[in-house]
Amino acid sequence: MIRKIVEIDQEKCDGCGLCVPSCAEGAIKIVNGKAVLAADNLCDGLGACLGECPRGAIRIIEREADAFDEAAVEAVSHKGEAGTGGGCQGHSHGGHGGGCPGMKVQSRPIHAPAAGDEAGTRPGRLGHWPVQLKLVPVNAPFFENADLLVAADCVPFAYGDFHKDFLHGKALVVGCPKLDDNEYYTDKLTKIFSTAAIRSVTVVRMEVPCCGGIEAGVKKALAASGANIPCTVVTIGVQGDIK
């Protein structure tokens, strides 16, 4: 049948993953670093994902496609709830989809500390407060001439040496692009980059596709501000390693 359905431009797509959680039907997944339509019958053609793409890589077209199948969507949703696949599709290095690492229940090994490693109290490296991007004022004095660290909320929990390896000597803001309004983040970062003499920006995000929103927000803010600030992106795996 001829009907409306999502089309994803692979040339424009940068694999940020913002479209994945916005698709309640689980029709989009990340395969080999690109967003793809998982199956025609999962896409309702309404385009809830369109506004989430910072690259404008998604559009609605009309073509021959299988009919939208609510039963198939329900089956995918149940898989996602069980942690084996489903609506929020994660990175698929082998090209077969799979559950979103941000929602899939999983365990990781806990390494015993080396002898003497936990003796005493380790001093924190945080030099200011607040740190939540929604709470920190645009004109905060600690932004001036600072090396800014923009971190996804989960990073300090997943990466044990966050303070030592990333935070030391930097101003910090944190946020979650999946739970908060990423456009708000972009607007606020644009104002910070436009008003403060930021020397450098380091983005530390998780490997899950939806976390790409915080990286995309920083890059959009840098472009919108016109500031020539060097930016480095570091990706942390769900097992606590640097990718």
**Which pLDDT does position 159 carry in this prediction?**
95
**Which pLDDT does position 11 carry in this prediction?**
93
Look over the chain and give the mean of its residue pLDDT values, rounded to a whole number: 84
Q: Are residues 6 and 88 in the same domain?
A: yes
Q: Are residues 146 and 213 in the same domain?
A: yes
127 domain-assigned: no
Domain containing 191 equals: 141-236
Q: Are residues 150 and 214 in the same domain?
A: yes
Q: Where residue 205 sits, what CATH number does that domain have?
A: 3.40.50
Q: Are residues 156 and 227 in the same domain?
A: yes
13 domain-assigned: yes
Note the pTM of the prediction, 2 decimals. 0.64
**Which pLDDT does position 199 carry in this prediction?**
97
- More confident of the two residues 89 and 79: 79
DSSP characters for 142-195?
A: GGTT-EEEEEETTHHHH-TTHIIIIITT-EEEEE-TTTS-HHHHHHHHHHHHHH
Cβ within 8 Å of residue 177, ≥6 positions away:
18, 152, 185, 210, 211, 212, 213, 214, 216, 217
pLDDT digits (tens, 9 = 90+) for 3-50: 999 999 999 998 887 888 778 788 998 888 889 999 999 999 988 787
Last residue of a domain, one of 92, 127, 156: 92
Last residue of a domain, one of 27, 60, 92: 92
167 domain-assigned: yes
pLDDT digits (tens, 9 = 90+) for 187-229: 999 999 999 999 999 999 998 877 888 998 999 999 999 999 9
Cβ within 8 Å of residue 220, ≥6 positions away:
54, 186, 190
7 domain-assigned: yes
User: 179-184: which pairs have CB atoms within 8 A and are 24 or more residues apart?
Assistant: 179/153, 180/133, 180/134, 182/18, 182/213, 182/214, 182/216, 182/217, 184/134
Sheet with 91-92, strands from edge to edge, namely 34-37, 28-31, 91-92
Q: Are residues 149 and 228 in the same domain?
A: yes
**Which pLDDT does position 140 carry in this prediction?**
93
Is the N-terminal amide bond of 130 cis, ω within 30° of 0? Answer: yes
